[in-house]
């Protein structure tokens, strides 16, 4: 019998107020027929590493390894600030909110996760880690390209957040969107 594979990633939960920021930014885009798929409120997160297809038997090893990594780091102070898009405004595919704060410490943390997971058979991501919170995705081709100018020019009050724990998540994709399940939670060392 074939071993079942899970689609996994490592993420950080966000302050509840992100929902208000998303709604405010959502109101800046008048799609005029463009198809924009907004991330459901409960599914917004800061992704630290997309692992991908993971044998169910590897979940314990992943959790044990993440436990070791989180014990080496203290709480990371960040904030949600500004909006942006990938790859470019005239053909935006991803609309996001940016991250500021202890970014060097966050980069070190993500590097440590990558370094520890590689020997388990989960390769280091080749793309540079750009911390952001995805709010929406836009697929092409479509009849109308959305104008994201106002979205990109809208400012909002900085929303402080701390990374005090991370989650190993699984994601099941359905026609109405992804359903996430927490496979493990790991706590960073608290600052005294």
Query: Catalytic residue positions?
Result: 45, 132
Buried b / exposed e over 48-58, threshold 16 CB at 10 Å, is: bbebeebeeeb
Reply yes or no: is the peptide bond before residue 87 cis, omega within 30 of 0.
yes
CA angle, corner 70, sides to 94 and 121, nearest 5?
70
Alpha helices in 2-102 (DSSP H): 18-26, 59-70
């Amino acid at each position: 019998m074939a071993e079942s594979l899970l689609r996994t990633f490592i993420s950080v939960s966000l302050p509840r107020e992100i929902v208000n920021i998303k709604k405010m930014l959502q109101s800046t885009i008048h799609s005029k027929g463009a198809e924009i798929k907004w991330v459901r409120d409960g599914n917004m997160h800061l992704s630290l590493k997309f692992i991908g297809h993971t044998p169910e038997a590897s979940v314990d090893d992943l959790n044990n390894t993440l436990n070791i990594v989180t014990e080496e780091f203290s709480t990371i102070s960040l904030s949600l600030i500004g909006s942006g898009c990938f790859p470019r405004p005239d053909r935006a595919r991803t609309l996001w909110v940016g991250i500021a704060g202890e970014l060097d410490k966050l980069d070190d943390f993500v590097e440590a996760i990558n370094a520890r997971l590689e020997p388990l058979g989960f390769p280091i991501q080749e793309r540079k880690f750009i911390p952001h919170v995805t709010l929406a995705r836009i697929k092409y081709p479509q009849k109308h390209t959305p104008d994201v100018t106002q979205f990109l020019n809208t400012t909002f009050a900085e929303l402080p957040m701390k990374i005090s724990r991370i989650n190993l998540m699984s994601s099941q994709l359905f026609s109405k969107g992804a359903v996430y399940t927490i496979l493990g939670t790991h706590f960073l060392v608290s600052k005294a």
